[in-house]
Chains A and B, each alone.
Chain A
Amino acid sequence: MPIIEVSRLVKEFGAGRAPLRALDEVSFAVDKGRFVTLVGPSGCGKSTLLQILAGLTAPTRGEARIEGERVCGPMPGKVGMVFQDPTLLPWKTAFANVEFPLDLRGDDRPARRKRCAALLELVGLAEFADHYPHELSGGMRQRVAIARGLAQDPKLILMDEPFAALDEQTRTRMGHDLLDIWAATGKTVFFITHSLSEAIYLSDAVLVMSPRPGRIIDTIAIDFPRPRELDIIGSAAFGAIRNRIWHLISEAR
């Protein structure tokens, strides 16, 4: 059974005269353990789709299912989220921020401390556990956010343009490290971005979304072998896929 199943999802804003249609009969499925990215131009509705998958907003029509269960609200045990803004709690250390979901859930102390230490190690911030968010760079904060997203051991991680606010170099680095984290944890990742290169580099498959109202134009399988190094970005094959996606989007306007 696919871990994500979306069928004929429609989202409209503003009832009455002229409702704004953000999503137009979106359907797709994502299998377990895969890294799938949704790519599309700004304003196409990809964030809205993620919000629906996260249970933070309800669709107007159609349904989304996670592990066969219909999405009616957030499912913290199953779904972890990483937003574009790390949204760390400023008065808590990196460690405490990662620990926070487990604290709320009521896990007992030794277990959750152990888990958090392991997670910070995983994202490469073990030495910064006692640092406060204002002492960390943008990339480091986002790593903490990723560790926090993994805290409750969800099967699925949703990521909403998590690296969009970072500079080019940090962004590329983070993408590479994210793949290592993904390989180590075996989760399913559903990633959103407007950067074509990022999408192709990271994913097993790329869902291409049209400009508003958003619908899935095509699904492109990415067959580069893993583990992937950054140099594939310059290759001809990579460029060809990029061009293809670019044309798909511009033709859909």
Chain B
Amino acid sequence: MRRRALVKSLTVAAAIAAAWEAVVRSGLVSRIILAAPSDIVQAAASDGGVFLRAFATTLAEIGAAIVIAWTLGIVTGLIVGSSRRLAAATAPVLSSIFAVPLIVLYPLLMAWLGIGSLSKVAFGAFSGFFPIVLNTIDGVRAIEPRYLALARSIGATRLQTHARIVFPLALPAMVSGLRVGTGLVVIGVLVTEMLASLGGVGFLISYHRTLFDTGHVYFGMLLALLLAVAVNIGLTRLDRRIGRWQRREQAQE
């Protein structure tokens, strides 16, 4: 059965590719705007190595930005969220900053940190930070006081309360923030690579655009999309695993 479905999907995909190729070759849409599948394959064949190296660069930048954004976001969120006053004062400010199109800050990072990987990592981390910290704060604030009363009554230390009770209870909200934040990290790194960079997938996309090598542009975009979708799937899995018990609890109530 599963093989049937797979064959079906592949046939449909092949049909779409063939139609796509035909449309482009017929001249209906300019080849400069819409690359044919054969152009993309050709780009992969001739410059696959270059693209792969760029992919590795982008991946490394995204990885570094994720580590920074997650750590700073979660730790700040846990600390701020633990105090009602601090949360009430800080969350609105953070939320407002988040409304600013952060991309305007990139030229500043560019001027300060250059156009290498450092400015990309910094921007990516900065973009991802806000949803993570805001969601973590929400998650901690939403914890019902009875859990804290329980912690006190069984003699848990502050550290134990935070690590063994607060953290797990806030986890579903936190992961929600991680999903959005990580998505923003990926976009942030790719977009800044497109704007001004020495390497990375975004850079190649921009570069080939200026040469009107649309096949290469599409190939690069394909890689970027694969990256974004892969990250999204990974995080959705995480969200599903973590949120399991919480959803069941809510269903019971």
Contacts and interface: CB of A to CB of B under 8 A. Distances in A.
Interface string B156-200: 110010001100100000000000000000000000000000000
A79 B153 CA distance: 8
B146 A87 contact: yes
Given A90-B246, A91-B245, A134-B245, A152 B154 contact: yes
A134 B248 contact: yes
A59 interface: no
Contacts of A90: 245-246, 248-249
Contacts of A139: none
Interface string B53-77: 0000000000000000000000000
B249 A100 contact: no
B152 A56 contact: yes
Range class of the A interface residue count: 20 to 34
B150 interface: yes
Contacts of A83: 146, 149-150
Contacts of B154: 74, 76, 100-101, 104, 148, 152
A26 interface: no
A68 interface: no
A79 B155 CA distance: 10
A74 B155 contact: yes
A74 B168 CA distance: 23
A132 interface: yes
SS class of chain A's interface: helix, strand, loop or mixed? loop
A74 B150 CA distance: 10
Nearest to B244: A91
Contact of B153 (A81, A85, A105, A132): A81
SS class of chain B's interface: helix, strand, loop or mixed? helix
Interface in A83-116: 83, 85, 87, 89-91, 100-101, 104-105
A215 to B, nearest CB: 25
Interface string A14-40: 000000000000000000000000000
Contacts of A148: 154
Contact of B150 (A87, A105, A134, A152): A87
A101 B152 CA distance: 11
Nearest to A75: B155
A54 B153 contact: yes
Contact of B252 (A77, A89, A134): A134
A182 B95 CA distance: 53
A104 B164 contact: yes
Contacts of B246: 90
A232 B178 CA distance: 59
Range class of the B interface residue count: 20 to 34
A104 B149 contact: no
A77 B153 contact: no
Contacts of A77: 155
Interface in A124-142: 132-134
Interface in B218-250: 245-246, 248-249
A90 B170 CA distance: 12
A104 B163 CA distance: 11
A91 B168 CA distance: 8
Contacts of B164: 100, 104
B245 A132 contact: yes
B98 interface: no
A81 B154 CA distance: 8
Contacts of A85: 146
Contacts of B249: 90, 133-134
Interface in A197-214: none
A91 B150 CA distance: 15
A77 B160 CA distance: 17
Contacts of A81: 153
Contact of B155 (A87, A89, A105, A132): A105
B147 interface: yes
A132 B150 CA distance: 18
Contacts of B156: 104
A142 B28 CA distance: 71
Which 6 pairs between the two chains have the least Cβ-Cβ distance? A76-B155, A101-B154, A134-B248, A81-B153, A87-B146, A90-B245
13 contacts: A54-B153, A74-B155, A76-B154, A76-B155, A83-B149, A87-B147, A90-B246, A91-B168, A100-B164, A101-B154, A104-B155, A105-B155, A134-B248
Interface of A: 54-56, 74, 76-77, 79, 81, 83, 85, 87, 89-91, 100-101, 104-105, 132-134, 148, 152
Given A77-B155, A90-B245, A104-B164, 4 more contacts: A74-B155, A76-B154, A83-B150, A152-B155
